[in-house]
Amino acid sequence: MTDLLNMMGIVKEFPGVRALDGVDLDVRAGEVHCLLGQNGAGKSTLIRVLTGAHQPDAGMIRINDEPVQLNSPTAAIQRGIAAIYQELDLVPDLTVAENIFLGHEPSRYGFSRIHEANTKARAILQGLGHAEIPTHRTVGSLPAAGQQVVSMARALSRDARLIVMDEPSAVLDPEEVSNLFRVIRGLTDRGVAVVYISHRLEEIREIGDRVTVLKDGATVATGLDARQTPTKELIQLMTGRSIEYVFPPRTEVRAAAPVVLEVVDLSRPGEFAGIGFEVRAGEILGLAGLVGSGRSEVLETVYGARRAATGFVRVDGAVLRPGRVQDAVKAGVGLAPEERKSQALLLDEAVFKNITVSTLGRFASTGFLNNRAEREAASKLAVALDVRPAGVDQPVRNLSGGNQQKVVLARWLLRDCRVLLLDEPTRGVDVGARSEIYALIRELASNGVAIVLVSSEVPEVLGLSDRVVVLREGRAVHTGPAQEIDEHQVLDLVMEGSI
């Protein structure tokens, strides 16, 4: 059988990071090809290259043995490549038929032919085994699974020969997943190839034909049999890094150290349930889990940015009112959020203003700011944390990811935080600067701050934390000292629910 798609030696560099470093991928017509890899392995970048959103710096792409340039999403669509993302790219207020034919509506003399669109849409949906979806309904009123089917119908309306599905099962119930699989089988029977990305091994076993494993931006194995390859071997391939991060040595948390943060039976329907943990002064607690496991949601609820449905949070023994960020801040809790740029920083403002924004009252008398005191305090911290380039008057936008993260940390240091919540503290931070951030976090802990760390990178959680809580689908499936569990076991837990 000849390959429908050949990608060879794909390289993609971003400033400061080589996201793809020689990736190979072969996909045959009519197969379900699974793409496995940890966060940061390069899956999303590869998909963006394939769908024309990114241009590779090196490498070759062939479709049906013909070299192609996919220099825009339109070019990829014309070559028969379509993608279905986790966040569906549908227009909620348009009807099913309008969404399916968006951008290539059946029309005559510029007037759209609604009837024809509806008929054609119905035919496509029928082909997918979902004739029950009314073509005149607005897409926003359909459940997630229905929207996904519409997304696939749209791909088919463009005669897609290869459909990329990025974690399609993440938004679906088990029953809907088996429905999805039925649709996928229908597609492959017609010769359409599917590139299937999922973290759930049991799904890959069920629907997949072959597996390609990515690690650190390179293909480490390709053409593996999806049903026969042992789980152990797959995880072995995904783990173990070529770049070893340097983690600072742990300092012993004194048993007598007081419990600073207490989280009891915290729940939010649809996000997580029954989460409870304690963090002592000087301790780093890591939350590990996949995207959608509820890890960031837990953190934001502890901070009061989301309102807990049940349960409560105690800081130094005092219960925080749920859903009140100001209370948490007042009690000495700080959050370095996941989306640094949109949730933490005022990008066009000077570094010192970003550092002092949570402590403004301290630099003011009757409302008037003492600019010099403010600048001095911020400078002292910026120097201590080695924010580069030096100087607190430049806009934060000019700093690299790692230095921006330091600015966020400095903000909470200035407040003398009791509890620091860190959500993906090294996202967008290049490899060299990571060790610095790690050392900084550990130093904070040894100064008596209680730290909760969330990261999608398992080695980071294990290397930095004292204790780990593993989350799977909104529930804690394991709690214990970080040294007593390894990366394989964590991956087993989050992917299959047991060790």
Partner 1 sequence: MSEDITTPSRQDTVTQPAIPRSRTDLLRSGFGRNLGLVVALVLLCLVGIATAGDTFATGANVLTILRLAAVIGVVSVGMTFVITGGGIDLSVGAMVALASVWATTLATQQLAADYHWIFMVSTALAVGAACGLVNGLLVAYGKIVPFVATLAMLASARGLAEIISDRKTQIITVGSFEDFFGGSLIGVPVLVWIFLLVAAAGWVLLNRTTFGRRTFAVGGNAEAARLAGIKVQRHTVALYVLAGLCCGIAAVMLMARTTTGSSTHGQLYELDAIAAVVIGGTLLSGGRGTIVGTVFGVLIFTTLNNVFTLNNLSISAQSVARGAIIVVAVLLQQRLARRTTGT
Shortest distance, position 341 Cβ to partner 1, whole Å: 9
Residue 152 Cβ vs partner 1, minimum distance, rounded to whole Å: 34
Amino acid at 301: T
CA–centroid distance for 281 within its chain = 29
Dist CA 49 CA 56 (whole Å): 6
Q: Which is nearer to partner 1, 74 or 371 (CB)?
A: 371
Instruction: Build a one-symbol-per-residue string for 193-222: x at contacts with partner 1 by CB under 8 A, - elsewhere.
Output: ------------------------------
Distance of alpha carbon 340 from its chain centroid, rounded? Answer: 13
Question: What is the distance between the alpha carbons of residues 307 and 336, in angstroms, rounded to a whole number?
Answer: 18
Please choose, from the candidates 308, 257, 307, 326, the residue with its C-alpha nearest in 3D space to the C-alpha of residue 285.
Answer: 257
Write down the least CB distance from residue 337 to partner 1, Å. 6
The smaller minimum CB distance to partner 1, of residues 123 and 360, is found at 360
Shortest reach from residue 342's CB to partner 1, in Å: 6
Q: Which is nearer to partner 1, 20 or 408 (CB)?
A: 408
In the shown chain, the binding pattern of residues 281 to 320 toward partner 1, with x for contact by CB under 8 A and - for none, equals: ----------------------x-x---------------
CB-based contact 39:491 (threshold 8 Å): no
CB of 344 to partner 1, least distance (A): 5
- Least separation in angstroms between residue 89's CB and partner 1 is 23
- What does the per-residue mask of binding to partner 1 show for 313-352, with x meaning CB under 8 A? ------------xx-xxx----x-x----xxxxxxxxx--
Among 357, 428, 473, 489, binds partner 1 (CB under 8 A): 357
Crossing angle for the helix pair 231-238 and 487-496, nearest 10 degrees? 120
Please give the residues from 358 up to 377 whose contact with partner 1 meets the rule CB under 8 A.
358, 360-361, 363-364, 367-369, 371
One residue of 129, 223, 276, 391 binding partner 1 per CB under 8 A: 391
Residues 406-435 that bind partner 1 (CB under 8 A): 411
* Of residues 247 and 412, the one with the C-beta less far from partner 1: 412
Residues touching partner 1, count (CB under 8 A):
37
- Residue 33 binds partner 1 (CB under 8 A): no
Q: Among residues 390 and 499, whose Cβ is nearest to partner 1?
A: 390
Nearer to partner 1, 249 or 367 (CB): 367
CB of residue 316 vs partner 1: minimum separation in angstroms? 17
Between 391 and 481, name the residue whose CB sits nearer to partner 1. Answer: 391
- According to DSSP, the β-strands at 193-197 and 162-166 are parallel
Which of 193, 298, 222, 225 lies closest to 9 in space, CA to CA?
Answer: 222
Of 123, 291, 373, 390, the residue at the interface with partner 1 (CB under 8 A) is 390
Shortest reach from residue 407's CB to partner 1, in Å:
12
Write down the least CB distance from residue 381 to partner 1, Å: 15
What is the distance between the terminal CA atoms of the chain, rounded to a whole angstrom? 38
Q: Least distance in Å: CB of 393 to partner 1?
A: 4
Q: Name the residue nearer to partner 1 (CB basis): 346 or 383.
A: 346
Under rule CB under 8 A, residue 400 binds partner 1: no
Q: Specify the residue, 131 or 364, whose C-beta has the smaller distance to partner 1.
A: 364
Cα(324)–Cα(50) distance, rounded to whole angstroms? 44
CB 49 within 8 A of CB 83: no
Minimum distance from residue 92 beta carbon to partner 1 (Å):
19
Smallest gap, in angstroms, from Cβ of residue 75 to partner 1?
Answer: 26
Cβ distance to partner 1 smaller for residue 15 or 103: 15
Q: From the CB of 48, what's the least distance to partner 1, in Å?
A: 19
Beta strands at 284-288 and 450-455: parallel, antiparallel or unpaired: parallel
Inter-residue contact 245 to 442 (CB < 8 Å): no
Q: Is 394 in the site for partner 1 (CB under 8 A)?
A: yes
- Catalog residues that contact partner 1 under the rule CB under 8 A: 303, 305, 325-326, 328-330, 335, 337, 342-350, 353, 357-358, 360-361, 363-364, 367-369, 371, 389-391, 393-394, 397-398, 411
